[in-house]
Amino acid sequence: MQTTLSERCLWLHTSAEAPLKYPALNSQEEAEVCVVGGGITGLSTALHLAEKGIKVILLEAGEIPSGGSGRNVGLVNAGLWIPPDDIVAALGAEKGERANTVLGGAPSKVFGLIERHAIACDATRTGTLHLGHSSKGCQALERRLNQLQKRGAPVSLLTGEACEQITGTSKIHAALLDKRAGTLNPCAYTRGLARTATHLGATLYCQSAVTGIERQADRWSLLTQNGRVTADRVVMATNAYTEDDWNQVRQHFFTGYYYQLASQPLTGAAAEAILPDKQGSWDTRTVLSSIRRDKDGRLLLGSLGKGEGKPLAYLTRWADTIQNHYFPALGKVRWEYTWTGKIAFTPEHTLRIFEPAPGILSATGYNGRGITTGTVVGEGFAHYITTGEDSLLPLPLSQPKPIKARPLWSCAYEGGFSLYHAGQCLRVLI
């Protein structure tokens, strides 16, 4: 019986970037810009503003990181979740191709920050693999390949022996390799952004949840339990972890979840054959399975859905099923960690960047592409605030309509994910 599994996030325990202690706000402060949310979007915004000499204060409700920025899979993906032509269909030709271009170059922005500021986050730049688990999945990969190649992306489709060697399994029939992408430890990356932002002059406060916002003449006043920040501009970077009704970001996404399990460190020939170049990967299933290795040789498996509240035996049964299907030569694997993070979904599977009130900028709906999207949105916000020009953002500022029936969307997604995983555990779906 599994006895080693515990509900804790692997990335927090293996981060080479040490946790730094930031004080809580207990005074009245002034800033040119106040950023709400200490995840990747907020920290990228603060970092790039401080780099330009702007006085910026960031308010985080918990510690850094405490949300999805430290709990995701750690894939440095290029583009959005849906294929480029679907993005154009959803957004129109001009906006769609803009999103394709800006987000296609997002991994280089992430790796550039890591290199420039010596962020110790176990980054790899060997690409990512989208895994065709069936003939239908392989056809979808071919369509995506053609769309990406038409736009000049360095992608290739591997089949046969080359596919088996790069994935470590015979159960995958084709793998789409995107050389723009890579992996990292997301907790370490987020901590590194925070360290860099403070070094450049940004002021960070943790355990300082914003309880309300008020307009005062031509400025904004943000209230916390024990303090206040008055600023000319505000960036709401709370994304999937937005909880307060007064925060309009909440109206523009519905909550989804993603759970992961990590094994004990694995050694031996069978383990080393799995993703030998350390690409991050995910398959083409209706409800995907993600697969990657960490710096210590652990096998990480994950999928859409909420792991919290489910019996650990259920989670290990699911992980055993996926592992035995793809990598039977490993034999029995002992799972060591499991954790869940939130995702901000939108019905159209594209992000939203908007200005809910004069002087306030917001973004949400990353649909599982938070590392790269958050990084470039933060840089784009800083550029827009200092120049009035929005070309670095994946999309121009807009006024999207709130999503109707958000709880129903969330329930429908979570119910579908749970049924699919139950089918996998019962070996009805594989």
DSSP β-bridge partners for residue 177 = 129, 156
What does the pLDDT average to over 360-365? 97
- CATH class held by domain 6-425: alpha beta
Q: Residue 62's pLDDT band (boundaries 50, 70, 90)?
A: very high
Q: Nearest Cα to 395, choosing from 136, 100, 195, 118?
A: 100
Per the confidence metrics, is the pTM higher than 0.95? yes
- Per residue in 243-297, pLDDT (tens digit) is 888 899 999 999 999 999 999 999 999 999 999 999 999 999 999 999 999 999 9
Would you say residue 3 has pLDDT above 90? no
Q: How far apart are CA 307 and CA 259, in angstroms?
A: 5
Q: Read off the pLDDT of residues 109-146 as tens digits, 9 standing for 90 and up.
A: 999 999 999 999 999 999 999 999 999 999 999 999 99
So where are the chain's domains?
A: 6-425
